[in-house]
């Protein structure tokens, strides 16, 4: 970490903040305790590297607890690595801290980082902390160790089956619940938790590296992301909405909607799922540590075909999910 | 690059922007043309990784041309790698784009990236582009190949000489010139250029790896950064202000000030120099590709001692340089 922090306005305070909140997170030897300008990383094989940022008011709500915000910043990146079959090693964090915000709030943010460092066995490698007149923002670069293979979006071929991990649509419903939409009181905490704290499928990384012909994480809505995978692979993907894996809460919500098909399409158009969408040769997929559901198959041509019980369903607008809260 | 861009407000435009402006920069095979979720990097040895961000109104002026802003974002990171003796390979970029700003402006920013990719033989490996209600900000993570050694801040020992590359204080004067302070018309363009476009000492990286016992780049002011190096090494550093390397423009400015000693102290307290401060055993340093000046020596104890012609000078407040423009 270096330079330019400005709350309150001195080098001394900056160093105190780094020493107090961030240095304890830099448990990797190469991070040099954040007392240097760069991290030294000795890799024993190919690395997979990804970066994703989150912005207050765009990707998270101003009222979201800072420990969960910090964990989300890590998890959206961990999700990318998992989808590429890579095991996480460590990360660099750039923290854009609003000029007027008290520095003590960093404690909660650092607590969140510490928790997920333990959960995922990763360490802070380095970073930067800068003052901004804008909103709180976190940019994370996550570095992982490549698996036996690194599945691309572009690897799907005709005849492959299409799978997705976990359940789809919970996070989008959670955001709606947090913004005041009416939900069953029993389902609300589950859905809000799915929004606040995605569950990156890190435990599946080696499994994905073994079996997936193509893979990506679902962050912009299943249908929009499926369209990207199909386009990158120059194939067509058929998705059976009848097979869409739903949590009990999402299934209850869908059943209460006037049009079940439209409700499922909506769940498959929300974002922030952070599940893994992947393809594999029929019969190739073996038991996994996380529920995995076959939702379709790859054919020739291009684009996405939605079906329900074997019948085509009108495809929704392919805009995907645009992260823009409160506007 | 993925997700969440929002100007104008659709996936389709986001992809068009990535395809048009950023994909041509992703010349590294492992970047997969920015069509995937992560980059694959096969390293043949240890890597050095650093991250630094710049924020409009804090680290650069709103009127600064976007190509120079982009190049500065790369160069502040290249400077960190050079000070660690590492050769740059590539970078990841997170672009925080103000919600109301036209996307066409990205063209100029991408042009700047393209220029410096050629200058420094680096490639875009991946990134993220997000919309923000705040100021334009760029976060860069730069990855380099470690040199024979990776000098730390902590390597200085008693008896070492202290050196700095290039000249000190030009960038700080350039910022003052850009903010309207009176300067000789002949010196103004040079000083402004030193502010807008730092010259990271990438060509010295292998040389630094060979000779430096400790090294860091000078970004927060020579005196403040020297204090950090001395503290990390648990030594004292004597700096002879009489030996401070000044450009002709800075020397003219200093000579015109009422107190030459105070003027030199001020030059050594500005920031954004992006020169390399390093220490080495006496006699160890051989000819370099860039001017290098011996400015002091390491002794026991702690802290910084400023001298001029062998006489101690009162040390200024050790606050360093706080990047905060326009406030």
What DSSP letter does each residue of B1-60 carry, written as one string?
Answer: --S---SSSSHHHHHHHIIIIIGGG--SGGGGGG-SSSEEE--SS-EEEEEEEEEBTTTB
Q: How far is CA A219 from the centre of its chain?
A: 6
Contacts A39 to B, Cβ<8 Å: 48-50
Would you say B201 and B86 are in contact if contact means Cβ atoms under 8 Å apart?
no
Pairing type for strands A123-132 and A161-165 reads unpaired
pLDDT band at B321 (very low <50, low <70, confident <90, very high): very low
Chain A nearest C-alpha distance from B263 (Å): 22
Encode pLDDT of A280-314 as tens digits: 999 888 778 889 999 999 998 889 999 998 888 87
Q: Cα dihedral angle (A249, A255, A259, A264), rounded to 10 degrees?
A: 40
Question: Between A59 and A321, where is the model more confident?
Answer: A59
Question: Between A284 and B216, where is the model more confident?
Answer: B216
Encode pLDDT of A230-248 as tens digits: 999 999 999 999 999 999 9
Inform me whether the C-beta atom of residue B57 falls under 8 Å from chain A C-beta atoms. Answer: yes
Residue B151: predicted pLDDT: 96
Would you say B241 and B313 are in contact if contact means Cβ atoms under 8 Å apart?
yes
What DSSP letter does each residue of B87-141 carry, written as one string?
Answer: EEEEEEEEEEEETTS-GGGHHHHHHHHHHHHHHHT-EEEEEEEEEESS--EEEEE
Cα A187 from Cα B154, distance rounded (Å): 54
Chain B nearest C-alpha distance from A75 (Å): 14
Residues in chain B: 327
Residue A9: predicted pLDDT: 45
Residue A327: predicted pLDDT: 29
Contacts B220 to A, Cβ<8 Å: 2-4, 11
Encode pLDDT of B76-121 as tens digits: 999 999 999 999 999 999 999 999 898 889 999 999 999 999 999 9
Encode pLDDT of B130-166 as tens digits: 999 999 999 999 999 999 999 999 999 999 999 999 9
CA-nearest residue to B30 within chain A is: A48
Which residues share a beta bridge with A50? A142
Q: How many A×B Cβ pairs under 8 Å?
A: 258
Q: Report whether pLDDT(A65) > 90.
A: yes
Contact across the interface for A2 and B232, Cβ inside 8 Å: no
Which residues share a beta bridge with B200? none
Contact across the interface for A59 and B130, Cβ inside 8 Å: yes
Instruction: Give me the sign of the Cα torsion angle A282, A283, A287, A291.
Output: positive
Q: Burial-class residue A99 by CB neighbours within 10 Å (0-12, 13-18, 19+).
A: middle
Among candidate residues B236, B246, B295, the one with its CA nearest the CA of residue B266: B246
Contact across the interface for A42 and B46, Cβ inside 8 Å: yes
DSSP-based three-state secondary structure for B242: helix
Q: Report whether pLDDT(B2) > 70.
A: no
In this complex, the residue of B59, B84, B92 whose CB is nearest that of residue A4 is B59
Percent of all residues in chain A with a pLDDT value above 90, rounded to a whole number: 76
Question: Between B188 and A34, where is the model more confident?
Answer: B188
In this complex, the residue of B130, B143, B146 whose CB is nearest that of residue A55 is B130
ipTM: 0.90
Residue A13: predicted pLDDT: 66
> What is the Cα gyration radius of chain B?
21
Contact across the interface for A126 and B50, Cβ inside 8 Å: yes
Residues 6+ apart with CB under 8 A from A2: A37, A128, B52, B80, B219, B220
Inform me whether the C-beta atom of residue A4 falls under 8 Å from chain B C-beta atoms. Answer: yes
Q: At B313, which helix (H) or strand (E)? A: strand B311-313
Encode pLDDT of A136-181 as tens digits: 999 999 999 999 999 999 999 999 999 999 999 999 999 999 999 9
Percent of all residues in chain A with a pLDDT value above 70, rounded to a whole number: 92
Contacts A144 to B, Cβ<8 Å: 38
| Cα separations in angstroms, A106 against A103, A178, B137 | 6, 24, 20
Q: Burial-class residue A115 by CB neighbours within 10 Å (0-12, 13-18, 19+).
A: middle
Interface with chain B: mutation pick from A16, A34, A141, highest number of B CBs within 10 Å: A141
In this complex, the residue of A83, A84, A135 whose CB is nearest that of residue B132 is A135
pLDDT band at B315 (very low <50, low <70, confident <90, very high): low
Q: What share of chain A is helix, strand, coil (3-state, %, to 5)?
A: 35, 25, 40
Residue B318: predicted pLDDT: 46
Which residues share a beta bridge with A279? A162, A214
Interface with chain A: mutation pick from B141, B219, B273, B276, highest number of A CBs within 10 Å: B141
Contact across the interface for B220 and A11, Cβ inside 8 Å: yes
Q: Which two tokens stand for residue B154?
A: 């902590």
Q: Which two tokens stand for residue B2?
A: 């993925």
Pairing type for strands B123-132 and B87-98 reads parallel
Contacts A131 to B, Cβ<8 Å: 55, 58, 323-324
Residues 6+ apart with CB under 8 A from B280: B160, B161, B163, B211, B212, B213
Query: What is the 8-class DSSP label of residue B244?
Result: -
Cα A172 from Cα A320, distance rounded (Å): 12
The residue written with tokens 């594999």 in the block is A280
In this complex, the residue of B47, B51, B83 whose CB is nearest that of residue A94 is B51
């Amino acid at each position: 970490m270096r330079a330019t922090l400005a709350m309150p306005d001195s080098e001394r305070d900056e160093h105190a903040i780094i020493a107090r909140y961030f240095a304890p997170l830099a448990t990797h030897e190469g991070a040099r305790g954040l007392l240097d300008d760069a991290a030294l990383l000795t890799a024993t094989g190919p690395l997979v590297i990804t970066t994703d940022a989150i912005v207050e008011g765009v990707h998270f709500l101003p009222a979201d607890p800072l420990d969960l915000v910090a964990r989300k910043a890590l998890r959206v990146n961990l999700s990318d690595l998992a989808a590429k079959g890579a095991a996480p090693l460590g990360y660099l964090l750039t923290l854009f801290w609003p000029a007027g915000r008290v520095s003590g709030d960093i404690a909660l943010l650092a607590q969140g980082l510490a928790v997920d460092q333990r959960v995922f066995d990763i360490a802070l490698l380095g970073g930067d902390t800068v003052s901004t007149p804008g909103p709180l923002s976190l940019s994370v670069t996550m570095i992982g160790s490549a698996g036996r293979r690194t599945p691309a979006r572009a690897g799907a071929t005709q005849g492959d089956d299409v799978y997705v991990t976990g359940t789809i649509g919970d996070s989008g419903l959670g955001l709606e619940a947090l913004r005041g939409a009416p939900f069953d009181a029993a389902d609300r905490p589950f859905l809000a938790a799915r929004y606040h704290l995605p569950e990156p499928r890190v435990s599946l990384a080696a499994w994905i590296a073994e079996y997936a012909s193509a893979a990506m994480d679902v962050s912009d809505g299943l249908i929009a992301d499926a369209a990207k995978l199909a386009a990158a692979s120059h194939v067509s993907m058929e998705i059976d909405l009848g097979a869409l894996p739903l949590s009990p809460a999402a299934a209850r919500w869908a059943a209460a909607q006037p049009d079940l098909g439209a409700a499922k399409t909506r769940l498959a158009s929300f974002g922030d799922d952070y599940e893994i969408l992947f393809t594999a040769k029929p019969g190739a997929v073996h038991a996994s540590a996380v529920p995995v559901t076959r939702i379709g198959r790859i054919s020739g041509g291009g684009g996405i075909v939605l079906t329900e019980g074997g019948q085509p369903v009108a495809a929704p607008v392919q805009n995907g999910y645009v992260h823009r809260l409160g506007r």
